[in-house]
Amino acid sequence: MKKLLDTNKITLGEYIGYGIGPVGKNMMSSLVNGEYLPNFFRTQLQISNGFLAVMLFASKIWDGANDLLMGAIIDHTSSKWGKFRPWIFFGAIFNAITSVMIYFDPGFKGIWIYIYVTLLYLLCDATFTMIDVGYWSMIPAMTLDPKERDKLSVLPRVTGAVGGLASAFTLNIVGFLGKEDTAKGYLRYAFIAAVVYITTSVICAASTRERVVLTPRQKEPFSFVRAARILFRNDQALIVVAVMILFNAAACMHGGTMLYYFTNVLLKPNSYAFYSILAGVIGGIGLFGVPLASKKFERNKVYLSTYLLPCLGYLLMTVGNSVAPSNFLVFAVSGLIPQISYGAMSMMQSVMLSDAVDYGEWKYGERNEGIIFSMLTFLSKISNGISYFIRYSCFAAVKFDTQVGVATTTAAVRMIKILLFGVPPIFLLGAYVLHRAKFRLTPGFMSEIISEIKERRAALSSNDGNGVHEK
C-alpha cells in the first residue's frame, strides 16, 4: 500500500524551481498579452482599431472556452513526469516559437495580413494556454497545506515580476535593438524573450514534484460535457471566476489605457517606463501586504477591501485631472493607488481557486485541479477580451486609428480619460457586490472542509490503499 500524504512540506529546491518558472513566461506574456502587440499591429502592420476590437475580443472568448478543454485534458494526463509538468515543458517551447512568429512582418497586404494576424494570434493564445493552465493547476497538487499553498501562490508573483519588469522598458529596448526599424526591434526582443522563456520553464518542470495524486477510481474517460458539468456544478468556483473576471477587467482596462494616457494625453512617453517600475513596486506591496493583513484580520474582509481601494485612486485621479491635468506627480500618486489591489489580485484568485478545488472534492468526491485552475487563464482572457473590445471600439468611434503619436482631437483625449478614470470602478464595484453576496469559502468553513477531506482519505487508504498517495 502506498503512503498517504497528509500535509506536505515543499523543499527549497522546489520553491526555487517553481518560482523561476514564470520569469520567462511573464517576460513573453508582457509582449504578447499586453498592450504592445495591439500597438504593433496598429503602427507596424496598419491593422485598424475596429478590426482589433472584434478580433481580440472574439479570439479571447474562443480561447477562454478552450481553457476548459485544456484543464480537462490535463486532469486526464498520465506520465512519469506527472500530469502538469509535461505541459509546462512542451507548452513553453510551442508558445515561445509562436510568440516570435507573431512579431514577424510577412509583408502581406489587404485581407491577407488580417488573416495572418488572426490565425497566428489564435495559435499563440492556444499554446500559452498549455503552459499557463499546467503551471497554475499544479499548486493544489504539490501540497495540501494551506500555508504552503499561500507561499506557492505568492512566490511566482514576486519572481514573475522580474520578467514583467522588462515590460516597463519595452519601448526603450525595442528602440535600442531596432534602431530606426521598430518592427525589427520587436522581433529581436521577442527572440531574446523566447530564449529566457524556454530556459526558465525547463528548470521549473525539472525541479518540481506533484504529491497529491488522484485516486484511480476518479479517472473516467475524457468528456468535454463532463468537464463542463464538473465546473458548472461547483458553485463556488463559478463565483470566484465571475468575481475575478470583473476584477481582472478593471486591471486590464487600467493597464491597457495607461500607455495611451502617457503617450497621447500627458505627452510624456518617456515617463511611462518610470511609472511602470513604480507600479510594479506598489503592486509588490499589495502582493505581500494583503496576505499579512489576512493574518491579522478576517481574510474575506481583507479581500473585499481590495475591490474598493482602487476606487479611491480613480476618484483622486479624476480630481487631480481637473486641478492639475498635466502634473505627472499628482497623476502618479493617485494612479498608483489601484496597483496595491491589482498586485494582490493574482494571489487572491490562486488561493480562492485552490479552496474551490477542495470544496469540489468535499462536496462531490472528485478533485479536478486542471479544470478548476484552467479558469485562471480563462478569466484572464475573457477580461482581456472585454477590455480590448471596449477600448478599441471607443478608439474607433472617436477616429483614433491614425493618431499614433499624439492625440490631436479633444474627443480622443476625453475618451482615453473616460476609459481610465470611469470604466474600472464599474467593474470593481460589481466584483465587490458579487463577492460579498455569494462567496462562502471563509477560513472557518475551509478548516472544516480540509479536516473532513483528510478523514475521508485516511479511511479510504486504510480500506483499499487507493487514496491520494505519494507519486
Rounded Cα gap, residues 264 and 355, in angstroms: 43
Confidence at residue 334, expressed as pLDDT on a 0 to 100 scale: 87
- pTM, to two decimals: 0.74
Place of cell 510551442: 94
Residue 88's alpha-carbon distances to 75, 208, 209, 219, 450, in angstroms, are 14, 11, 13, 21, 28
**Which of 438, 127, 153 lies closest to 294, judged by CA?**
153
What is residue 408's predicted lDDT score, i.e. its pLDDT?
64
pLDDT of 103 reads: 93
Distance CA 333, CA 464 (A): 61
Tell me what pLDDT residue 3 has.
42
pLDDT per residue, tens digit, the chain (471 aa), is 344 444 457 788 888 888 888 888 888 988 887 788 988 898 888 898 899 999 999 988 887 777 777 877 887 777 778 888 899 999 999 999 999 999 998 889 889 999 999 999 999 988 998 898 888 878 877 877 767 777 777 777 777 767 667 777 887 888 889 888 888 999 999 999 999 999 999 999 988 887 766 544 445 555 566 667 777 788 888 898 899 899 999 999 998 898 888 888 888 877 888 888 888 888 878 877 777 887 788 777 888 888 999 999 999 989 988 887 777 778 888 888 998 888 888 778 878 888 888 888 888 877 777 677 767 767 778 898 999 999 999 998 988 864 445 446 888 889 999 999 999 999 999 999 999 999 888 888 888 888 888 888 777 766 655 544 444
In terms of DSSP H, where are the helices of 107-180? 111-137, 139-142, 146-165, 170-178
Give backbone dihedrals phi and psi of 363, rounded to 5 degrees, phi first.
-85, -35
pLDDT at 187: 93
User: CA-CA distance, 152 to 146, in Å (whole number)?
Assistant: 10
DSSP of 285-324 = HHHHHHHHHHHHS-HHHHHHHHHHHHHHHHHHHHHHHHH-
Single out the residue of 204, 259, 237, 212 nearest to residue 364, CA to CA: 237
Helix (H, G, I), strand (E, B) or coil at 446: helix
Which residue pairs from 297-303 have beta carbons closer than 8 angstroms and sit at least 24 positions apart in sequence?
A: 298/442, 298/443, 299/442, 299/443, 300/439, 300/442, 300/443, 303/348, 303/352, 303/435
pLDDT of residue 5: 43
Whole-angstrom Cα distance, residue 419 to residue 260?
10
CATH superfamily of 12-464: MFS general substrate transporter like domains (1.20.1250.20)
Whole-angstrom CA distances from 36 to 202, 256, 288 are 26, 9, 28
Check if the beta carbon of residue 259 is closer than 8 Å to that of residue 397: no
Round to whole Å and give the CA distance between 21 and 281. 20
Phi, psi of 4 (to 5 degrees): -80, 130
C-alpha cell recorded at residue 417: 480619460
Among candidate residues 437, 383, 457, the one with its CA nearest the CA of residue 235: 437
Q: Which three cell numbers stand for residue 213?
A: 495524486
All three cell numbers of 183: 518592427
In angstroms, what CA-CA distances link 375 with 69, 119, 134, 179, 383?
11, 23, 11, 40, 12
- Alpha-carbon distance of 125 to 268, in angstroms, equals 32
Residue 398's CB: how many other CB atoms inside 10 A?
A: 18
